Amino acid sequence: MSQVAGLTVAQGALGLGQRAEQAHRWGRAPAPLIGAAVLAAALVLLPILVTIVQAAGLSAKDAIDLLVRPLVGRLLINTVGLVVAASFTCAIIGTATAWLVERTDLPGRKVWAVLAAAPLAVPPFISSYAWVSLSNGLQDFAGALLVVTCAYYPLVYLPVAAALRGLDPAPEETARSLGYGAWGCFVRVVAPQLRPALYGGMLLVALDTLIEFGAFALLRFRTFTTELYAQYRTGLDGPESSLLALVLIALCLVCVVAELNVRGRARYSRVGSGVRRIAAPVRLGLTRWPALLAFAALTSATLGVPLGMIGYWLLQHAQAATSPVAPSLPLLFSATFASVSYGLAGAAAAVVLAAPLGYLTTRYPSRLSVILERIAYLAQGVPGIVVALAFISLTIETIRPLYQSAALLVVAYAILFLPFALVGVRSALAQVQPGLEEAARSLGLGWFGVTVRVLAPLAGPGIGAGAAMVFVFVVTELTTTLLLAPIGTRTLATEVWANTSTLAFAAAAPFAGMMLLISLLSTWLLARRFGAAVFPDGA
Amino acid sequence: MTSLRILRLVLPAVVCFGMVSPGALAASLTLYSAQHEQTVDLLTKAFTKETGIDVKVHSGEAPELASQIVKEGASSPADIFFTENSPELELLSEKGLLAKVAPATLASVPAQDSSPAGDWVGVLARENVLVFNKSMIQEASLPASLLDLAKPEWKGKIAIAPTDADFLPLVGAVIAMKGRPAALEWLKGLHDNATLFDDDEGVVAAVDRGAVATGIINNYYWARLRAEKGADKIQSAIHHFAGGDVGGLMNVSGAAVLKSSRNQAAGQKFLAFLVSKPAQDMISKLDITFEYPLAAGVAANPILKPIGELQPPSLTIKQIGDDRDAAQLLREAGLI
């Protein structure tokens, strides 16, 4: 696994595991490098600090009164209830699909392997749009659970499938020979070895459920994120909202820290070396028919419904509330251009932030570099809505020139998706032998020359993979875009939002379709171009 | 994809962003709009076609935009503020942030639907109603007064959207008619009885699918849902409060030019355009907003109950207030 799986589990992946492997000490890091890395880490902490400062305006008594009230209780029940339920449904579906794909003779396994991972490229608020427009009966808790499960079960599927591939079949064979049946063998021998991958995946599901906004807003399911947005809309974005935001951040950080711990202890080692064999696939026999049916149902729910509903609404036009504003090609083009431009700018900015951090941690590992890197990974536990609200009040009050600027939105993207860029930069740099840089330097190249002529060609593809991932996330990002987009800027995400939240489903369809197209296409290209690095074992 | 090639792709985009900084183009207007994006799109397009003045739109919920304008103060990028309800405009008017509206523009609509101080103009009106699911409840058993919904027998049967900008004026109206303590009691009753949603769209959708029997909304959310679903598929209907009950409140959607705007003349042109006959005609003919046009001689959409048959409470714009007291009360009642 290590950093490769980090990229595979696109949504959150850290890849911290392999820190010390190339502890190639070059002495003290240059001050500008440390400065740049500290700046990147400080940017991640900035929104949290702003939120804390705002909440600090409250007296202790007011704070307690505001925290211990029915609204917070209801939000906690809604949010935590959904997080727990989604983690379990994703765990069950993710593990079952992984086992069927990796360990059985299910017909069409290669195809199912791709289809099982593909839902990651469908933004949750797009599948939410599809389900809501299919039937408005699918709302509230059940609807939210359905959408979240469809969107996030691959976060369990991918690591569990990778773990199953890597398992040595010998203990299973021994267990079988000692009298365990197939089920007993799975429960007593296989499942314990899958635990790190499974728990890690479940925590990523929990984290993504906590910070999701658009899907729940469209489903009318109230969580902390939708409540923060609602309070902002009512003009009540004072210290009370900041306090709610802190509760949400605390929940997220619990997940991030737990995930780091699970990842840190993810070791089920084999004693001795030798060639790892591929386990003999379990023969499904007649059970393969229900299994195939289940896979077909899963694919219909995760990919069929979004694609089908978008297609359906694209073909509807006469309906009143949608027709006057329905597909306007120039608007579709300009929204696509805006989304793609922000995607590119966000990816570039994230790589710029990640580069010094990645270089510091791979070339000058120290206690400081570990701390800075961990801070950078905290970014995945900071919800977009918190970053956006913090940035609005920061710029409106103190840094006015940045207020409502494109630059601010790009910085927000860079902070939110820094972990993905960092995973790419770090793993790419780790694979470049430091000796090559030393040789180039000894032959007279300056740091710029080394960067352009040695590091860029060697680490370029890996960094590009990270950047491409950030690009996809930015294009499909809703919350921050909605709150920070400069006046007059319309992206695919804001158009889907504006139309869907007013029930104009047909008007939303072209924008939703375009976004899905870009996301699926980029993910496919990413998988093809960087397949070997990103999707191990050719899955 | 080498990093150089990425750089080549990204640099032009970054350079472009650098150039388009806000406020660089003085010939255009910036509109802070809480009205529906589709409606505003059509209006601004028609306005640009007529005058050649470009309009940039920043959309949001009215209270959010109002608090934004207050925070931005004298350097607000906004030229015009267009809302769905009067209280946000009243708030800005009280803070002295709005410029006087040209008398000819004010004369196009009834005087009681515009700012008493003459610094914003009423554009459209909408009615507060009760939406109910036809298979869950009979219209005859619906309450005569909005205030009855706080009674215990309505527990679990009512949906509201306390954070929707349309709910705040209703609270303001109850405060004006029944006093603050009675309004708080009413809200506490609703807190016990109601299922909460984020916005009126959520309420109307929930009632229509049978999740809740009734809901408090503005009339046109139901009309929009009916247009979207088709008249034969809609499961709900609306109930108008009569006899001047507070539940039949008429809200005014209005617009104003900000005092801080450097484009006063163009801004006034836009206000005049909003209440002009062609613009008002266009809005009432399209099946998008379903609001009552305020300009004289413009017929409302036939799907709406004729405005002469409505029996709204007689409240002035001043009495409905500026949302601040209403928001405070919602918080005291535990609704937000």
Q: A487 and B30 in contact by Cβ < 8 A?
A: yes
**Regarding predicted confidence, which is higher, A63 or A7?**
A63
Radius of gyration of chain A (CA): 24
Contact A235 B64 (CB under 8 A): yes
In a domain, A355, yes or no: yes
Q: Tell me B302's DSSP state.
A: T
Give me A488's structure tokens.
């007059």
Distance linking the first and last C-alpha atoms of chain A: 13
Whether A524 is in a domain gets the answer: yes
Give per-residue pLDDT as tens, A426-461. Answer: 888 888 888 888 888 888 888 788 888 888 888 888
Whole-angstrom distance, CA of residue A92 vs CA of residue A112: 17
pLDDT reported for residue B41:
87
Task: Render each residue's pLDDT in chain B as its tens digit; 336 residues.
Answer: 344 454 444 444 444 444 444 443 447 899 999 988 888 988 999 999 999 999 999 888 888 899 889 888 888 899 999 999 999 999 999 999 999 999 999 999 999 999 999 999 999 999 999 999 999 999 999 999 999 999 999 999 999 998 888 899 999 999 999 999 999 999 999 999 998 887 888 899 889 888 889 999 999 899 988 887 888 889 999 999 999 999 999 999 999 999 999 999 999 999 999 999 999 999 888 877 789 999 988 999 888 899 889 999 999 999 998 888 888 898 888 787
Q: What is the pLDDT of residue A199?
A: 87
Report the predicted TM-score, pTM, of the whole model to 2 decimal places. Answer: 0.81
The residue range of the domain holding A201 is 57-267+295-318
Q: Are both A299 and A404 inside the same structural domain? A: no
Q: Is the distance from CB of A523 to CB of A472 less than 8 angstroms?
A: yes
My answer on whether A363 and A250 are in the same domain is no
Please write the tens of the pLDDT for every residue from A195-236: 888 888 888 899 989 988 888 888 878 888 888 888 887 776
Kindly give, in sequence order, each residue whose CB lies less than 8 Å from that of residue A497, ignoring residues fewer than 6 positions away.
A125, A214, A478, A482
Tokens, residue B11: 């640099």
Look at A293 and B331; give whichever has higher pLDDT: A293
Query: Are residues B163 and A140, on separate chains, in Cβ contact within 8 Å?
Result: no
Cβ neighbour number for residue B51 with a 10 Å cutoff: 14
User: How confident is residue A239, by pLDDT bands cut at 50, 70 and 90?
Assistant: confident
- CATH code: domain B24-125+252-305 is 3.40.190.10
Burial of B21 (0-12, 13-18, 19+ CB in 10 A): middle
Inside any domain, residue A160:
yes
Overall domain count for chain A:
2
Residues A396 and A520 in one domain: yes
Position A277 in a domain:
no
Do A230 and A364 belong together in one domain? no
> Is residue A61 located within the same domain as residue A120?
yes
Q: Is residue A378 part of a domain?
A: yes
Same domain as A341, residue A312: no
For B132, the 3-state DSSP assignment is: strand
Q: Which residue has the tokens 């007993």?
A: A184
Interval A503-532: pLDDT, tens: 777 888 889 999 999 998 888 887 777 654
Does residue A147 lie in a domain region? Answer: yes
Dihedral of CA A128/A131/A133/A135: which sign?
negative
A82/A38 same-domain check: no
* Helix (H/G/I), strand (E/B), else coil: B157: coil
Angle at which helix A367-378 crosses helix A31-55, to 10 degrees, equals: 40
Kindly identify which residue of chain B lies nearest to residue A318, measuring between CA atoms. Answer: B228
Query: Are residues A424 and A499 located together in one domain of the fold?
Result: yes
Virtual torsion, Cα A47, B331, B130, B145, nearest 10 deg = -170
On the question of pLDDT at A340 being above 90, the answer is: yes
CATH node for B126-249+317-332: 3.40.190.10
> Which residues make beta-bridge pairs with B57?
B31
Asked if residue A286 is part of any domain, the answer here is: no
Q: Note whether A249 and A346 are same-domain residues.
A: no
> What is the share, in percent, of chain A residues with pLDDT greater than 70?
87
* Each residue's pLDDT tens digit, A111-126: 888 888 888 888 898 9
What CATH number is attached to the domain comprising A302?
Answer: 1.10.3720.10
Residue B146 contacts residue B246 (beta carbons within 8 Å): yes
**What is the pLDDT averaged over residues A24-32?**
73
Closest of A152, A123, A121 to residue A523, by C-alpha: A121
Domain residue limits, chain B: 24-125+252-305, 126-249+317-332
Spell out where A266-359 has E strands. none
For B86, the token pair is: 């009067």
**Within-domain flag for A401:** yes
Tell me the per-residue pLDDT of A167-183, one tens digit each, with 9 for 90 and over.
778 888 888 888 888 78
d(CA B293, CA B279): 10
* Chain A residue with minimum CA distance to B161: A230
Partner-chain contact A222 B336, CB within 8 Å: no
Total number of residues shown for chain A: 539
- Domain B24-125+252-305 and domain B126-249+317-332 have a common topology: yes
Structure tokens at A233: 């809309």
Longest CA–CA separation in chain B, Å: 73
Residues of A in contact with B336 (CB under 8 A): 71, 230-231, 234, 236
Instruction: Decide: B137 and B214 in contact? Cβ < 8 Å.
Output: yes
Tokens of B241: 């409060």
> Residue B254: beta bridge partners?
B122
CB contact under 8 A, A503 and B201: yes
Same domain for A181 and A111? yes
Contacts of B119 (CB under 8 A, 6+ apart): B93, B98, B99, B100, B101, B256
Residues 6+ apart with CB under 8 A from B162: B196, B330, B335, B336
A352 and A256 housed in the same domain:
no
Beta-carbon separation of B63 and A233 below 8 A:
yes
A437 and A506 fall within a common domain:
yes
Beta strands B292-293; B121-133: pairing state:
antiparallel
User: Residues of A numbered 450-469 whose beta carbons fall under 8 angstroms of chain B's beta carbons: which are they?
Assistant: 456-457, 459-461, 463-464, 467-468
